[in-house]
């Protein structure tokens, strides 16, 4: 799948999730839940792929192989601001691609933000929400 179709699919899924109320205005205690849900899951089709990509990112970047480290770096990347956490994550992903902040994992080119979200997702499932 080329990047244009990928982004279109991701945008459609984000709109659908926002319309369902899943992403909109998540309270602060749920923020790590949102941080660990990359929008690219609509493209990949399953959580097993996200898990695998996240594990691979953590293997390549052991300094980020901790929940606290990933949450901190993701929060820092999106910063405080207007809009939902999901909206700020989507904006950061677009900025990552525009500025060349990407990683290649298992044949996929992901923004650093997407890769970190996958890593947080995989970490949560490898270690039982640690």
Please say whether the beta carbons of 23 and 11 come within 8 A: no
- Residue 128 binned pLDDT confidence (cut-offs 50, 70, 90): low
- Residue 1 binned pLDDT confidence (cut-offs 50, 70, 90): low
**Structural domain for 83, as ranges:** 3-126
With a pLDDT cut of 90, the percent of the chain lying above it is 50
Give the CA distances from residue 99 to residues 12, 16, 111, 117, in Å, rounded to whole numbers and listed in that order.
23, 28, 10, 18
- Residue 38 binned pLDDT confidence (cut-offs 50, 70, 90): confident
Per the structure, how many domains does the chain have? 1
Q: Quote the mean pLDDT of the chain.
A: 79
Q: Name the token pair of 77.
A: 């990347």
Please say whether the beta carbons of 120 and 70 come within 8 A: yes
């Amino acid at each position: 799948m080329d990047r244009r179709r990928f982004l279109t699919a991701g945008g459609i899924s984000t709109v659908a999730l926002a319309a369902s109320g899943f992403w909109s205005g998540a309270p602060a205690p749920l923020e790590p839940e949102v941080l660990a849900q990359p929008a690219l899951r609509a493209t990949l089709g399953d959580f097993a792929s996200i898990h695998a990509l996240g594990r691979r990112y953590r293997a390549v970047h052991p300094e980020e192989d901790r929940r606290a480290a990933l949450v901190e770096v993701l929060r820092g990347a999106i910063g405080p601001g207007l809009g939902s956490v999901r909206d700020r994550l989507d904006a950061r992903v677009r900025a990552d691609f525009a500025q060349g902040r990407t990683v290649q994992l298992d044949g996929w080119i992901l923004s650093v933000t997407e890769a970190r979200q996958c890593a947080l997702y995989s970490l949560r499932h490898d270690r039982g929400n640690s």
